[in-house]
Amino acid sequence: MDYTLLNNGVKIPMLGLGTYRIGRTDDDVYNAIRTALDMGYRHIDTATLYENEAPIGKAIRESGIPREDIFVTTKLWGDDVLKNEIPQAFDQSMQLLDIGYVDLYLVHWPVKGKLVSTWREMEKIYASDKAKAIGLSNHLQHHLEEILDEANVLPAVNQVEMHPYVVLNDLVDFCEENAIVCEAWSPLGSSKVPLLEEKILREIGDKYGKSPAQVVLRWNIERGVVAIPKSSNKERQAANLDIFDFKLTPEDVQLINSLDKNYRTGIHPDEIGF
């Protein structure tokens, strides 16, 4: 596993497990997380929206792995911003997770007109030391600029949809210039686009004995982007973790970048209905 440092010195594993729809029942979620932790995952990404914080927290508590060895992210949902219930939403996540603290608390989506006031509340949560780092998700450069102008605590992370169909080099560069670590959600393109069937990815993978999914995840790591692929399946979880024993060439990276069509599988951050 590779790690990088957030701008406040907190260490984050470059690869984590996404958990959106990772299981239909709490038992499914619990088992998927225990399986992942047992095989070496040390970074779990959840959110209020996913309604799985309780079984994830239970799996972490019962894993036998020291709490400080696991990096846990959860996220603030926009409805709670609109209701002015940010502290309550955080407390609810803390109660459901029941793991003492979270490593990273993210604003899930920008809420129009409330970017800076939301960030002020996030700063208070950070000051409570119950979130070791705070950050953003689905924030474009103009959202980040608005917050950076006013921030007392710099956002540590920006988690956005990012894969070879939506490369977002400018946003990655802007985040790097501002000491914000980028995280890729749907790093495999989710199951909504045939990204993993791309011939280029297959051909590159064949050189290293790796699958298209492993090539795509490695591409993220090498551009300094943390990736959080979701898999409910033990073999695919293991494959997604097995990307730290090969390196892409600059030519490989260029070929992967050439797949870019600025195509999002999810909502454009300026069009979210909050």
Ligand X SMILES: NC(=O)c1ccc[n+]([C@@H]2O[C@H](COP(=O)([O-])OP(=O)(O)OC[C@H]3O[C@@H](n4cnc5c(N)ncnc54)[C@H](OP(=O)(O)O)[C@@H]3O)[C@@H](O)[C@H]2O)c1
Asked if residues 270 and 140 have their Cβ atoms less than 8 Å apart, the reply is: yes
Residue closer to ligand X by CB (options 108, 132) is 108
DSSP state of 166: B
Residue 19 CB, nearest approach to ligand X (Å): 5
Run of H or E including 98: none
Residue 194 CB, nearest approach to ligand X (Å): 11
Beta pairing class for 181-185 and 226-227: parallel
Beta pairing class for 11-13 and 181-185: unpaired
Residue 51 CB, nearest approach to ligand X (Å): 13
Residue 120 CB, nearest approach to ligand X (Å): 21
- Catalytic annotation, pick one of 30, 41, 50, 165: 50
DSSP state of 19: -
Residue closer to ligand X by CB (options 153, 196) is 196
Cβ within 8 Å of residue 85, ≥6 positions away: none
Residue 6 CB, nearest approach to ligand X (Å): 17
Cβ within 8 Å of residue 198, ≥6 positions away: 164, 212, 259
Residue closer to ligand X by CB (options 13, 229) is 229
Residue closer to ligand X by CB (options 64, 112) is 112
Backbone angles phi, psi at 182, to 5 degrees: -85, 140
Residues that bind ligand X (CB under 6 A): 18-20, 45, 108, 137-138, 159, 185-191, 196, 213, 228-233, 236, 239-240, 266
Q: Which long-range contacts (CB under 8 A, 24 or more apart) does 254-258 make?
A: 255/200, 255/204, 256/164, 256/200, 256/201, 256/204, 256/215, 256/216, 256/219, 257/164, 257/167, 257/169, 258/200
Residue 50 annotated among the catalytic residues of the structure: yes
Closest by alpha carbon to 40, among 23, 18, 16, 19? 16
What is the separation of C-alpha 10 from the centre of its chain, rounded to a whole number of angstroms? Answer: 15
CA torsion, points 243, 41, 192, 103, in degrees to nearest 10?
A: -120
Residue 73 CB, nearest approach to ligand X (Å): 8
Query: Which residue in the shown chain puts its C-beta closest to ligand X?
Result: 18
Residues recognised as catalytic = 50
